[in-house]
Amino acid sequence: MVRFLFRVLSLLALCVGVVFCVIDAIASVSASQVIMTPISEAWIETHPGSLMTLEELVVGRLGDGAWLALRDVVLPQPAFAAMLVLSLAFWMIGYKKPSLAGRFAA
């Protein structure tokens, strides 16, 4: 059941990553230059209050240094790349290894 949940989360993250990639591709073609939307900008456009809530949570539990590292390292990354990496991580967590005995073993 948990593997199924992680596989579904992987599929959803993959779909969102592809949507972000298509949006960036369309914006890049229309502007005649490469445009990659950072996570922070996509997050603020989607739900601005939750980013402030995340900041309060991280500062309250981990301190200012953790928030500064998150803000300076993670949030400027392209949104499509972050979602694709998240999708890969969820898929790896939900992956079921094939049986060592083989497909037709009893």
Residue 10 pLDDT: 98
Q: List pLDDT tens digits, range 59-105.
A: 999 999 999 999 999 999 999 999 999 999 999 999 988 777 777 76
Helix (H, G, I), strand (E, B) or coil at 1: coil
Q: Please write the tens of the pLDDT for every residue from 21-66.
A: 999 999 999 999 999 999 999 999 999 899 999 999 999 999 999 9
Helix/strand/coil (H/E/C) assignment for every residue in 3-39? HHHHHHHHHHHHHHHHHHHHHHHHHHHHHCCCCCCEH
Query: Do 79 and 20 form a contact (C-beta atoms < 8 A)?
Result: yes
Q: What angle do CA 20, 21, 26 make, to 5 degrees?
A: 100
Neighbours of 96 (CB within 10 A): 7
**What's this model's pTM, rounded to 2 decimal places?**
0.82
Q: What pLDDT is attached to residue 101? A: 73
